[in-house]
Amino acid sequence: MNRSQLRTILWLRWQLTCNRIRRLGTVNAIVTWAIFAVGCLAALGGSIGGFLLGRFALAKSQPMVLLGVLDMAVFFYIVLWLTSLLVELQRSESIDLTKLLHLSISLWKVLVVNYAVSLFTPGIILTVPALTGLTIGLALARGFRLLLLLPLVLAFVFMVTTWTYSFRGWLSTLIANPRRRRAIIATLTMVMIIAGQIPHLLLNTSWARTRIFAEIKSSETPSRSGKPADTNLADTASPSPSISPTKAVRTTRTASRQTSSLCRIQSHTQFQNMKQISTAKRQVNLTSQLIG
């Protein structure tokens, strides 16, 4: 495929999009172009916002916070991707390679061009510039090693989009039969909605809640009867007449709650945060001295 043919393929794609919008009618065309303009502005804003976020807001944040921000961006991208997948599938305006088989062009190059053009989806337009800005901002704020995030982001995007491209092609062949078309689109929509509800189903249903509460209860039991907390609490249980009994009881309870919760964390996560435990113990001792 020479340059002229490449230009023609791109022109074809552009013309198909323009004509499709034209066919929608004047009002719909205006709305579509307005959405397109807002999308472009959002992409620009996203890239600047991402840069500022990385350069200033996340400059000294914890790695977990960074991870959370990236997870949110990925989640946002996946939601947009799922939506655009369904929309594109129904439009089916991607260039069908079977229509080009008789032309004197290399088909694998058309495939690559078609794939490259298919990357201009709302998900990518909104997410990739923002993540690129974020990466550059982070690299400036925390060191250029963070530029490695950029190939990772691109690899993720290409991984999802190539799979989608292949999946969409397969689905297009399936929905070529109009009888099957509606059933497939309805099933896909339901699958995507249910897939989006999986975290909710796992965490917020009654059986899941019962299970989680049972786990918490079982993890609380040993810490309440555990020796380190209870030994000290036993010592501090009797209030001294030198201070107000109510105050002493309240202080003791607070200290015991801290110790108990720390023990719980310890039993849950197996982390030995001895410093915090010793601080809490010191508080208990201090309270007992005050009481004494």
Instruction: Give contact residues for other proteins (rule: CB under 8 A).
Output: 2, 4-5, 8, 11-12, 15-16, 19-20, 23, 93, 95, 98-106
Residue 81 CA to residue 61 CA, distance in Å, equals 29
Residue number, 19 or 289, with CB nearest to other proteins: 19
Q: What's the closest the beta carbon of residue 99 comes to other proteins, in angstroms?
A: 4
**Residue 92, by phi and psi: left (phi above 0), alpha (psi -120 to 50) or beta?**
left
Please give the radius of gyration of the chain, using alpha carbons only, rounded to the nearest integer. 30
* Degrees to nearest 5, angle at CA 124 with 123 and 128: 125
Phi then psi for 205, rounded to 5 degrees? -80, 165
Q: What's the closest the beta carbon of residue 182 comes to other proteins, in angstroms?
A: 19
- Burial label for 291, CB within 10 Å (0-12, 13-18, 19+), is buried
Residue number, 17 or 61, with CB nearest to other proteins: 17
Give residue 108's Cα distance to chain centre.
34
Residue number, 22 or 253, with CB nearest to other proteins: 22
Residue 38 CA to residue 32 CA, distance in Å, equals 10
- Burial label for 135, CB within 10 Å (0-12, 13-18, 19+), is buried
Q: What's the closest the beta carbon of residue 125 comes to other proteins, in angstroms?
A: 21
Q: What's the closest the beta carbon of residue 115 comes to other proteins, in angstroms?
A: 18
DSSP letter for each residue of 208-237: HHHHHHHHHHHHHHHHHH-HHHHHHHHHH-
Q: What's the closest the beta carbon of residue 22 comes to other proteins, in angstroms?
A: 8
Q: What's the closest the beta carbon of residue 108 comes to other proteins, in angstroms?
A: 9
Residue number, 103 or 198, with CB nearest to other proteins: 103
Residue number, 16 or 290, with CB nearest to other proteins: 16
Residue number, 32 or 61, with CB nearest to other proteins: 32
